[in-house]
Amino acid sequence: MHTQSRFSLAATAFWAMLNRDLVVTGREFVSFLLQALMQPLFFLFIFGKVLPGIGLAAPAFVAVMLPGIVGLTTLVASMQGVTLPLVLDLGFAREIDDRLLAPLPIWLVPVEKVLFAAIRGIIAGSVIFPLAWLILGDRYAVRSDHVAMLAGMIVLTASVGAGIGLLMGTSIKPEQIGLMFTLIFTPLLFTGCTYYPWGALNNIRWFQVLVLFNPLTYAAEGLRYTMVPPIAGHEIPTLHIAWVLAALGTSVVVTLILGSRTFRGRVVS
Amino acid sequence: MANTDHVPAIEVRKLVKRYTKSKTNAVDNVSFQVRQGEIFGLLGPNGAGKTTTIGVLTTAVLPTSGSTCIMGIDVASDPISVKQRIAVVPQQSNLDRSLKVREILTFHAAYHSVPRKEREERADKLLDELGLGERKNEKVNRYSGGMAQRLMIARALMHSPDVLFLDEPTNNLDPQSRLFLWDRIRELNKQGLSILLTTHDMDEADKLCERIAIMDKGKILVNDTSSELKKMIPGGNALEIRLFVPDSVGADAPARLKTTLEGLPGVSKVEEMAPEPAPVAQAAAVPAGSWARFGAAAAAAAPQEDPGVTTYRVYAENAGSLTGAAAQAVLASGCEVRDLHLKQATLEEVFIYLTGRHLR
């Protein structure tokens, strides 16, 4: 006993905690997918099939919107993977105590939660592609020359979502859940350049500046950069990819640091 | 690893904890030691600082000052090594409700790097020992409070800790579950586990713990074995005699009897107890009115303490051995024994004696 190195103890505990989360999610995989995909499914159908079908949206709109939906789904699925469970756990369930007593540094416990939530987000975001292909038919258009970059964007988007989820999950009290979801989720959804490209906001300058405070804007624009094929020979304008990467990278780091600190504040008094 | 046979299982030195925004110390300069293989009890009312003390020892609460060691390892500077050696059973269930019962144990062991084969075997063995073997594939939401408590103990043992913390282990349990748990706790202790338990149940502390620290308002008031604590109350050991003095024996008979009792070997004091107030006396004093009249009538009808009955308390070092001699003295004086019993001090009385308040 007690002969293993610190590192191997912590690594084993970390992996066991991740394995526990994966086992639990695996058991309710169908409900997880339904929860993550219901909304994007309807968005794809209405905005990609119905509106263009009745002439209320330009066919090119679909190509611009699809990256927004991938970004939103990835971000929200990873947020949901950590926010609600943490609010309940830290609020009253305290199931997490068992993991806090495992022989590893406390900050690895929230990091594990973030990693797991990001995996959820990556799965949810990736499933959008075959679904979109099925629903959109001819209108499905994703360029194939940026695949590695696209994968990277999804991972980054999922990490941002998980980071925000950690920060929210450790800051919100159970009795505030309803209000906070309205106050945070709704603006996040509608100011994230999901359904419109950032470049098109030139005419509403104040709004164009405002949306830059939403990480989802960078995720959606980065995904547009990696997904939307040239339309009529023209690349569509997006936020510069360097800005996108810098903003998303910063968001991950900042939310992780702040989230781990609030987490520590909640579990050690 | 150095030889740890002689270090205390738990050592707390001048521990102070003040929560932010609080004006008083939740734990106020507390020091105590728990030897290896001992069951040690922290007894006190809710809010005495017991759970905070456990929190500091189990890395969940940072001390304001003072130091704590588990098996010779400083908790503040090396919490990870401490976590390998301790297990905690909290007041309220914190069992993982997403997992099946057996998985709760195996995952817990996995968090502690117990190899797969070992954790599977240990889980089955512990579930059987704690009477949960038949329902190991259920989820805990179907478990009763007593079963959840047993499961938390099983979980705590999965990584073979040296020191076990039990926070109010039998709170809210039915008497049968409580006895079962007491037996298990004793067995674990016999297997060499050092145990710190908190309780506000003096019976529990008395029956389980080798030594007990009585805590109140963040301070340890006393810390000793149960029997030593009981000796603190003056006359903790007394013989109480209720006797009837017939008119025929004369008015000075009680006084003579008292002198005789005082002369018995080892007697330090004989006290004549004030008669207990009749329960309906108050009702009779209520001003006129239909209820008052009813009360007065009831008072008159109630069987009053016989005017000829007196109660003596005979304090002695070993009052139990005086039973025969005291009874003979009463008979010789011409009085009749109505009741004679040994008055045992309880920890509750110790607590009242120390704080002037009841435990709960």
B53 pLDDT above the threshold of 50: yes
Choose among B80, B99, B155: nearest Cβ to A105: B80
Q: What is the pLDDT of residue B231?
A: 77
pLDDT of B73-117, one tens digit each? Answer: 999 999 999 999 999 999 888 999 999 999 999 999 999 999 999
In-domain check, residue B3? no
Q: How far apart are CA A218 and CA A249, in angstroms?
A: 10
Q: How far apart are CA B338 and CA A218, in angstroms?
A: 91
Contact A162, A121 (CB under 8 A): yes
Query: Amino acid identity of A50?
Result: V
B145 and B202 share a domain? yes
Contact partners, residue B286, CB within 8 Å, separation at least 6? B292, B295
In-domain check, residue B316? yes
B175 and B80 share a domain? yes
Given B203, B231, B259, which residue is the final one in a domain?
B231
Q: What is the pLDDT of residue B318?
A: 77
Q: How far is A92 from chain B (nearest CA, A)?
A: 9
Mutation for A interface: B64, B77, B80, most A CBs within 10 A = B80
pLDDT of B250-278, one tens digit each? Answer: 778 888 888 888 888 888 778 787 665 44
Compute the average pLDDT of residues B170-181.
82
Q: Find the chain A residues whose C-beta atoms sit closer than 8 A to any C-beta of B.
A: 1-2, 4, 6, 8-10, 12-13, 16-17, 19-20, 23-24, 93-105, 267-269
B177 pLDDT above the threshold of 90: no
B64 pLDDT above the threshold of 90: yes
B172 and B263 share a domain? no
Q: How far is B107 from chain A (nearest CA, A)?
A: 7
Look at residues A126, A112, A136 and name the one whose alpha carbon lies nearest to residue A74. A126
Mutation for B interface: A7, A24, A88, A101, most B CBs within 10 A = A101
| CATH number, position B324 | 3.30.70
Q: How far apart are CA A268 and CA B60, in angstroms?
A: 5
When divided into structural domains, chain B yields a total of 2
Q: What is the pLDDT of residue B121?
A: 94
Q: How far is A5 from chain B (nearest CA, A)?
A: 11
Strand ranges of the sheet holding B86-89, from the earlier edge strand across to the other edge = B86-89, B163-167, B194-199, B39-43, B211-216, B219-224
Split at pLDDT 50, 70, 90, the class of B342 is confident
Split at pLDDT 50, 70, 90, the class of B358 is low
Percent of chain B whose predicted confidence (pLDDT) is above 90: 39
Compute the average pLDDT of residues A197-212.
91
Contact state of B80 with A94 under an 8 Å Cβ cutoff: no
Domain hosting B20: range is 10-231
Lowest mean pLDDT among A208-222, B45-59, B233-247, B301-315: B301-315
In angstroms, the Cα distances linking A164 to A11, A236, B178 are: 25, 29, 45
B119 and B183 share a domain? yes
Q: How far apart are CA A194 and CA A198, in angstroms?
A: 9
In-domain check, residue B355? no
Domain boundaries, given as residue ranges, for chain A: 6-267
B86 and B209 share a domain? yes
Helix axes A241-267, A147-171, angle to 10 degrees: 30
| CATH number, position B159 | 3.40.50.300
- DSSP reduced 3-state for A239: coil
pLDDT of B203-252, one tens digit each? Answer: 888 888 999 999 999 999 889 888 888 777 665 577 888 888 888 887 78
3-class SS shares of chain B: helix, strand, coil, % to 5: 40, 25, 35
Task: Supply the pTM of this predicted model.
Answer: 0.81
B219 and B328 share a domain? no
Choose among B81, B94, B113: nearest Cβ to A95: B94
Q: How far is B93 from chain A (nearest CA, A)?
A: 8
Q: How far apart are CA A112 and CA A120, in angstroms?
A: 13
Where do we find the tokens 């179907």? B142
Q: How far apart are CA A106 and CA B62, in angstroms?
A: 13
What is the interface pTM, i.e. ipTM, of the complex? Answer: 0.89
Chain A with chain B: Cβ pairs closer than 8 A: 84
Q: What is the pLDDT of residue B281?
A: 41
Q: What is the pLDDT of residue B197?
A: 92
pLDDT of B317-330, one tens digit each? Answer: 777 788 888 888 88
B245 and B142 share a domain? no
Q: What is the pLDDT of residue B314?
A: 82
Chain A residues within an 8 Å CB radius of B140 = none
Contact A45, A140 (CB under 8 A): no
Split at pLDDT 50, 70, 90, the class of B359 is low
pLDDT of A16-53, one tens digit each? Answer: 999 999 999 999 999 999 988 998 999 889 988 898 88
Given B216, B231, B246, which residue is the final one in a domain?
B231
B124 and B162 share a domain? yes
B241 and B227 share a domain? no
B169 and B38 share a domain? yes
B256 and B196 share a domain? no
Q: How far apart are CA B286 and CA B288, in angstroms?
A: 7
Closest chain A CA to residue B62: A269
- DSSP reduced 3-state for B344: strand
In angstroms, the Cα distances linking B209 to B6, B128, B231, B233 are: 20, 26, 17, 19
B157 and B274 share a domain? no
Given B211, B231, B251, which residue is the final one in a domain?
B231
Q: How far is A171 from chain B (nearest CA, A)?
A: 18
Closest chain A CA to residue B95: A95
Closest chain B CA to residue A23: B99
Contact state of A20 with B107 under an 8 Å Cβ cutoff: yes
In-domain check, residue B41? yes
Contact state of A95 with B107 under an 8 Å Cβ cutoff: no
